[in-house]
Structure 1
């Protein structure tokens, strides 16, 4: 067994101590329960920081950076983050199974990664090992913690636990792909807060079959995008994560719009890429979109999906309004991508604010060909929405088309006025999709 695997086993055993926390839940007075819960982790952190500075135990838990100072900072941070999350569970209402799932996702996922790395150095395989092991560990751990808390393990509840586990595993894998190993406490808290949000949503239609189908579809499509170099590894993980949430929290019709943007948008980026490279307008990383780009174009749509899942019971908002907001945001992302990727191939662009001619690639520069391409992109998403949702129909599709095209214009206007000085390209993309979402929601509220 390699040192990396042994270290991962050691951290997994520390994480397993989290199963003691449900046992003290309900002990009176409450402060005593909290003290009993956090004591093991605080004790581990204290030993790591002050006592264990050499020997076999130090070598077991030491990460490369720890050896420089002879202090187990990684172990201390991991233990203290578990203590902090247990405090949220005992004092602030974080469900106990969410707490355990969060810890087990990270501990199990890290072990899965190290085991796979013994066989292959392939980054995708290591990521798959993290997600698989994290999912299995979190599902099992949260089920045990639920039983300890006296919660019946119905099929519906087990499906929810599986959804929490796979969501946490995908988020953790994404964060691990863009952060350092020393940032595990941040990863742990991020998982816990996300799953806490999910646990508060009225998710009545989640089934194991739906999760499995959603995961299968998104993983296959995500890997295809990675294999075609239209997405980096973090970009692929982001797409899979967003796709899974869209299917489970929305349905396959919502996902149809999102995956159309991911697929056609990625292909549009690769279209005549060498020519775009010569013109200085090509996307970085050989056209493979990263997590930042994917999130900038999709985060507004994701918020709309989450809000729709909580509506109307938690928000009082008509879910149809949020559907129009989602479709408008996706249509804007598609419209802007088509406009820039196809329109940038033509000469004599004009600045949208003054209509004077500018060099190709100038922020805010537009061509009539790009405008037509943007209209087509928005129309594709609008057509899918109108065709799949009977309540939207032709009139609603026209509203979504207009909202998406408006988002493209907002993107160009912001590019001509503020991009590069106060905001970056990804922020402009986010604001453009937000404008389209607001326009789609307002049109539904005021016109339809």
Structure 2
């Protein structure tokens, strides 16, 4: 076993202290605080230092990497320990899952990286090891007996296994995504990110149906394999897409996911459509059409906010008509779908005009449109509107819903073109323009609903 693998095995062992949470109660944070104190103040030489030291730790002469990881776990432990108030802030199973996800996931990734030089397989190894560890951690915490939870009326029996499975998948994928965005050694930040996601998921999705869990896991495996095989997304883009899909399934349901998948599917196919020709014209997406993290966030970020808002309304957090979040979700995706079609189809024609002045400009100019692209975008927005009627159960007439979503999508497309012609490049990146455009589409659909 090489030094790096031994070190990550040591971090994994420290993460397993979280499994004692049901036995320690309010003292759950103490073992992690003790580890953090020893790592930062006491251990500067000897076998333990050699085991846990990262390259930066050797330069500093202290185990700051281990100390930061242990402190992150201690903060989450404070959130999970039985508080003075009658309600919990963070479920104990979620706390345990958050910590072991990072410790065991890193060990799995290192074990594969030392044998295979393939980034996708390293990410898959992290996600797989983290998922198994997070699921087992939750079940072990239940088996050890979380009696304060039972007193709070929270289901901690093994009947909650489907929910634990969903939570484990979320923890593993959020960990993998955060780890790919940061340094793999930044375990504290990754732990906080996983813990924050567990807080939100636990608060808004107290129970998940077994069929939704099966769909979620199937989606994760399919999207991961599909994007790897076809190159339709970068590694980070793939992880973000899978996380968004799981959130959509868990917070909204299968219908919401199908609508999201429509955007991803249409976007991927139209991006690849006549790609070589678009590349010669200078209007093709970079990286051979592979969608990156920024692209996914820009196009689907508002949809993610909408589905989380819908779940918050369902959990009784806000007295708002849930149809408004359904319309916002559909309007944002109608914008993203329409804009993608407009760009990818319109880029194949030689008569683009700047949307703000009408003057002829070269293909690929920001803010340029063609009538063919606008028509394709309108069809894409209308497609999302029709699917919204079938899938989202919006309590308005079918024709009204299609009109609201289509007009909202077209308004968002227009906003994207105007922003592209005025501020994109010098002031705003393309991903920011996409985010603002989908926000405009969501708001347009919602505001129009008040007028009809």
TM-score norm. by structure 1 comes to: 0.91
Please state if 1:343 is matched with 2:310.
no
Query: Contact 2:212–2:254 at 8 Å: present in 1 too?
Result: no
Cα distance, 1:44 vs structure 2: 1.9
Contact 1:279–1:360 under 8 Å retained in 2? yes
Instruction: Indicate if the aligned counterparts of 2:166 and 2:216 stay in contact, CA closer than 8 A.
Output: no
Aligned positions of 1:33-72 closer than 5 A: 33=26, 36-72=27-63
Secondary structure at 2:204's aligned position in 1?
Answer: coil
Deviates more, 1:109-118 or 1:383-392: 383-392
- The alpha-carbon deviation at position 402 of structure 1 amounts to 1.2
Q: Deviations over 1:61-95 (max 9, x none)?
A: 12233333333221111111112222222358222
1:119 deviation in Å?
4.2
Q: Cα deviation per residue 1:190-242 (whole Å; 9 max; x = unaligned)? A: 111111111111544x1233212222134213421331111111111111111
TM-fit CA distance, 1:42: 2.8
Contact map agreement 1:156 1:207 (CA 8 A) in 2 = no
Cα pair 1:202 1:310 within 8 Å, conserved: no
Moved more, 348-357 or 58-67: 58-67
1:14 aligns with 2:14: yes
Shift, 1:389, TM fit: 4.9
CA contact (8 A) 1:321 1:445 kept: no
How big is the shift at 1:427? 0.9
Shift of 1:48: 2.1
Determine helix, strand or coil for the equivalent of 1:380: helix
Residues 131 and 169, structure 1, Cα contact 8 Å, conserved in 2: yes
Mark the CA change 1:16 to 1:221 in structure 2 (over 3 Å): closer, same or farther. Answer: closer
Corresponding residue for 1:427?
432
SS in 2 for 1:182: coil
Preserved CA contact (<8 Å) 1:225 1:263: no
CA distance in 1, matches of 2:225, 2:445: 32
How far does residue 97 in structure 1 lie from its aligned partner after superposition?
A: 2.1
Q: Taking structure 1 as reference, are residues 423 and 158 closer, same or farther at Cα in structure 2, changes over 3 Å only?
A: same
1:152-301 aligned within 5 A: 153-201=156-204, 203-204=206-207, 206-301=208-303
Return the offset for 1:287. 1.1
Q: CA shift at 1:116, angstroms?
A: 2.8
Is the Cα–Cα contact under 8 Å of residues 11 and 103 in structure 2 kept in the other structure? yes
**Cα distance in 2 for residues equivalent to 1:439 and 1:395:** 14
How many Å separate the matches in 2 of 1:369 and 1:106?
A: 49
Measure the CA separation in 2 of the matches of 1:166 and 1:389.
25
Normalised by the length of structure 2, the TM-score is 0.90
Q: Give distance in 2, aligned partners of 1:10 and 1:184.
A: 13
2:146 to 149, 157, 177: 149
Does the aligned pair in 1 maintain the 2:334–2:384 contact within 8 Å? yes
Which residue does 1:442 correspond to in 2?
447
Give the number of equivalent residue pairs: 437
Pairing partner for 1:321 from 309, 324, 329:
324
| 1:352-391 map, 5 Å | 352-389=355-392, 391=394
Q: Provide closer, same or farther for how the CA distance between residues 394 and 226 of structure 1 changes in structure 2, counting only shifts above 3 A.
A: farther
**115 and 383 in structure 1: CA distance in 2 versus 1, 3 angstrom threshold:** same
Q: CA RMSD in A?
A: 2.1
> How far off is 1:22 after superposition?
3.5
* 1:295-341 deviation line (CA, Å, top 9, x unaligned): 11111111111111222422222222211111111110011111111
The answer for the alignment partner of 2:72 in structure 1 is: 81
Q: CA deviation at 1:432?
A: 0.7
Distance in 1 of aligned mates of 2:199 and 2:128: 21
Distance in structure 1 (CA, Å) of the matches to 2:431 and 2:236: 16
Extract unaligned runs of 5+ from structure 1.
26-32
Give the secondary-structure state (helix, strand or coil) at the position aligned to 2:198: helix
Distance 2:188 2:255 in 1: 36
SS of equivalent to 1:311:
helix
CA distance in 1, matches of 2:309, 2:158: 25
Aligned to 1:30: none
Matched, 1:412 2:403: no
In the aligned structure 2, how far is the partner of 1:333 from the partner of 1:82? 38
